[in-house]
């Protein structure tokens, strides 16, 4: 009668079973932090009086948010991280390696059934690999780094069943935006979100990561998903000896939602809230200054491929920044000829970084500018000026909008056009 999260937290806390609302002291399999949070965690360790990490093989640092450094102050943060990593023998993925949420599973650090904590809210992304993965504050990250344990309240679980197939030019980003529009930004606060159904079973790893990534935008604590054949194949090339954790057939959920994938259409989250969801048709024609295709939400090869398909031999009318989420993805895009096609289309192709997503560098918006972004948040000032506006969209919608310099329905560039 247990859900995925209940089974994982029971095992990690040494119990036969746990129930929602119960507090458990869980063993942590991996803890990580990046250049926006790592030093705060290190300072917290020093305040606690602990000088060593509990297990160097289970602690990982990433320099990805403001990377390469756009200022001397941030360069100092990067230097301090490198020194700490060297002193404690922990892994550090330096400038250009990629975004933490992409690199961590790529490097075999995420196993089904594991407990992953990261000092970043989008750690929920790793739920796509059947893990309990959640973002924590820097103090909690420090405790996990120091002791290898952390307290959790077992969350209630919500089941979202998605049946059917997407129509042409509808992507998993449209699905998760649809769900956001239904449940709202605080609708699943501290809940565990489980996606099920034939649509989810047939999804690529890239698409599943997009869905899990944005669970936190609904307030969710985690988004553990059962494995499908694509994910199993992906993991076998990186991880050994893993065992899937499945929810019991009679597991108890606090709420359930059903989605017919075949009825979905391209959507956007209009300024300035992630749950201000509208169909592309409702905002079509809004002039766009900049398009960003990338981030831990949509910077994977599938996303770049659909953008290239839409752009074809044409030239963009809006500034278009494309950033692969990791060096591996950059290589893959390069070898497939996608980088060449993007550059010929007038796009700016960047090195792997979070950069513009968080308004750190690489394309900040000016006063009154409008952007279409494939990232996960469109809050006021997120990507630059507080008077700029951000529309969140799928890579297909973003590429079509870059092509025309205004928001357009990507289905006009689909196979059925």
Q: Are 219 and 126 in contact (CB under 8 A)?
A: no
Q: Are 268 and 370 in contact (CB under 8 A)?
A: no
Q: In this structure, what token pair is assigned to residue 411?
A: 């289905």
Strands (E), 261-301: 267-269, 277-279, 290-293
CB hemisphere CA count around 9 (13 angstroms):
29
Phi and psi, residue 158, nearest 5°: -120, 135
**Domains in the chain with CATH codes:** 4-13+23-259 (3.30.499.10), 268-408 (3.30.499.10)
DSSP, collapsed to helix, strand or coil, labels residue 300 as coil
Q: Are 254 and 20 in contact (CB under 8 A)?
A: yes
Residue from 179, 175, 160, 135 nearest 254 by CA: 160
Name the pairing type of β-strands 149-153 and 23-27.
Answer: antiparallel
d(CA 291, CA 413) in angstroms, rounded, equals 17
Predicted local confidence at residue 367, as pLDDT: 97
Q: Are 241 and 268 in contact (CB under 8 A)?
A: no
Q: In this structure, what token pair is assigned to residue 264?
A: 């979905």
d(CA 245, CA 361) in angstroms, rounded, equals 40
Q: How many CB atoms lie within 10 A of CB 354?
A: 31
Predicted local confidence at residue 48, as pLDDT: 85
**Is the previous residue joined to 68 through a cis bond, with omega within 30 degrees of 0?**
yes
Give the tens place of pLDDT for each residue, 243-286.
999 999 999 999 999 999 999 999 999 999 999 999 999 999 99
According to DSSP, residue 63 is labeled -
Predicted local confidence at residue 240, as pLDDT: 87
DSSP, collapsed to helix, strand or coil, labels residue 19 as coil
Q: Are 289 and 381 in contact (CB under 8 A)?
A: no
Work out the widest C-alpha separation in the chain, in whole angstroms.
64
Predicted local confidence at residue 416, as pLDDT: 52
Q: In this structure, what token pair is assigned to residue 323?
A: 């950033």
Q: Are 346 and 315 in contact (CB under 8 A)?
A: yes
Given a cut of 50, the residues of the chain with pLDDT beneath it are none
Give the tens place of pLDDT for each residue, 351-361.
999 999 999 99
Average pLDDT, the chain: 97
d(CA 126, CA 100) in angstroms, rounded, equals 11
Predicted local confidence at residue 53, as pLDDT: 95
d(CA 136, CA 401) in angstroms, rounded, equals 35
């Amino acid at each position: 009668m247990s859900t995925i999260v209940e089974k994982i937290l029971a095992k990690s806390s040494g119990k036969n079973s746990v129930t929602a609302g119960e507090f458990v002291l869980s063993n942590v399999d991996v803890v990580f932090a990046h250049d926006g949070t790592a030093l705060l965690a290190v300072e917290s360790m020093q305040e606690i009086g602990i000088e060593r990490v509990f297990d160097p093989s289970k602690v990982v640092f990433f320099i990805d948010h403001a990377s390469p450094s756009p200022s001397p102050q941030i360069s100092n943060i990067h230097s301090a991280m490198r020194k700490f990593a060297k002193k404690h023998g922990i892994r550090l993925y330096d400038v250009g390696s990629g975004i933490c949420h992409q690199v961590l599973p790529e490097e075999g650090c995420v196993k089904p059934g594991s407990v992953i904590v990261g000092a970043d809210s989008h750690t929920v992304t790793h739920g796509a690999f059947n893990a309990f993965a959640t973002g924590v504050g820097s103090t909690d990250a420090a405790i996990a780094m120091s002791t290898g344990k952390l307290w959790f309240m077992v969350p209630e679980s919500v089941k979202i069943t998605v049946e059917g197939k997407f129509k042409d030019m509808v992507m998993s980003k449209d699905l998760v935006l649809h769900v956001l529009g239904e449940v709202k930004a605080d609708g699943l606060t501290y809940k565990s979100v489980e996606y099920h159904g034939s649509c989810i079973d047939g999804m690529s790893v890239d698409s599943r990561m997009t869905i899990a990534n944005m669970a936190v935008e609904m307030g969710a604590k985690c988004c553990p998903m059962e494995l499908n054949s694509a994910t199993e194949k992906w993991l076998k090339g990186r991880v050994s000896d893993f065992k899937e954790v499945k929810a019991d057939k009679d597991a108890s959920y606090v709420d359930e939602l059903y989605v017919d994938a075949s009825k979905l259409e391209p959507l956007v989250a209009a300024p300035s809230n992630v749950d201000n969801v509208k169909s592309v048709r409702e905002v079509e024609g809004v002039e766009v200054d900049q398009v960003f295709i990338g981030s831990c939400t949509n910077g994977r090869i599938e996303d770049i491929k659909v953008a290239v398909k839409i752009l074809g031999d044409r030239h963009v009318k809006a500034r278009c920044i494309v950033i692969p989420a990791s060096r591996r993805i950059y290589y893959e895009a390069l070898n497939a000829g996608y980088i060449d096609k993007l550059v010929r289309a007038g796009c700016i192709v960047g090195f792997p970084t979070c950069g513009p997503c968080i308004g750190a560098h690489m394309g900040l918006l000016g006063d009154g500018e409008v952007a279409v972004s494939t990232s996960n948040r469109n809050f006021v000032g997120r990507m630059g000026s507080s008077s700029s506006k951000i529309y969140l969209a799928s890579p297909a919608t973003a590429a079509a909008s870059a092509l025309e310099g205004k928001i357009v329905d990507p289905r006009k560039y689909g196979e059925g056009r």
